[in-house]
Amino acid sequence: MNYLGHLYLVRDAADEVLVGTLMGDFVKGRLRGERPPALERAIALHRRVDAFTDGDEAARRSRRRVPAPAGPYRGVLVDVFYDHFLARDWEELTGCGLASFTARVCRALAAAELPAPMAAWARRLCGEDWIGGYARVEGIEAVLVRLARRVRRPQRLAAGIGALRADYAGFEADFRAFLPRVEAMTRAWLAARGGA
C-alpha cells in the first residue's frame, strides 16, 4: 500500500499515529525505543502492512497484471493503483470527505518533528495535494511521473498508467479482495500490541 493506504488503516487514530505510519518509509533499521511508543508502533505497523501486502494473493495477482517491462516496479505501481481506488471511494469507505482527512494529515505533519527528508516530502505532499490527486486516473499518472524522476529506469514507472487503464476492472477487483484482509490483519496486529 502507498501513503493513503497506510493512513486509511489508522485513520481514526491519534495524529501521532498518522505521522508514524507515514514515517515508515523514512525510518530505516531497528526500532530501539528512541521515539514515543505510539510513533514506533505506527512505524512497525507500516512495515508489517508492507510485508503483508507483498504476500497477499490479491496483491500478487495485481502485480502479475502489470506488464513484464515494469520489472521490479510492479509492486510500487500496484501500491499506487490501490491508493487510487481508496481515494476514489474514500467517502463511501470512511463516511468522511477525503479533503478534510487530508487537511488533518497535513496539520499533523506540520506540527510534528520530522526527519529532514520527510519534512521536505511532507511540504510537497500537502502543498501539491498529492493525496487528493489520487482520486483521478490523471492524478495517478502525475504520481508515476514524479516517482519516475527518482529511479534509474523511469520509463518502467511512467508507462505504468497504461496497465491501470488496460485492466482497470481487474485491479479494482483485486483491491476489493485485498482491502478487508489487510484491515483484519491490522486490527489483529494492533490488538496484540495494545492498540494504535
Each residue's pLDDT tens digit, 80-118 = 999 999 999 999 999 999 999 999 999 999 999 998 999
Q: What is the DSSP letter of 33?
A: S
Long-range pairs of 126-130 with CB within 8 A, sequence gap ≥ 24 = 126/102, 129/102, 130/3
Closest by alpha carbon to 136, among 168, 113, 167?
A: 168
Contact 99, 52 (CB under 8 A): no
Residues 170, 173: Cα–Cα separation, whole Å: 5
Residues 7, 5: Cα–Cα separation, whole Å: 5
Centre a 10 Å sphere on the Cβ of residue 183 and count the other Cβ atoms it contains.
13
pLDDT score for 71: 82
Closest by alpha carbon to 140, among 176, 121, 165?
A: 165
* Residue 82: strand, helix, or coil: helix
Q: Which band of pLDDT confidence, cut at 50, 70 and 90, is reported for residue 154? A: low
Q: Residue 25 belongs to what domain range?
A: 3-192
pLDDT score for 145: 80
| Number of domains comprising the chain | 1
Q: Which residue has the cell 530501539?
A: 32
Q: Which band of pLDDT confidence, cut at 50, 70 and 90, is reported for residue 171? A: very high
Contact 26, 118 (CB under 8 A): yes
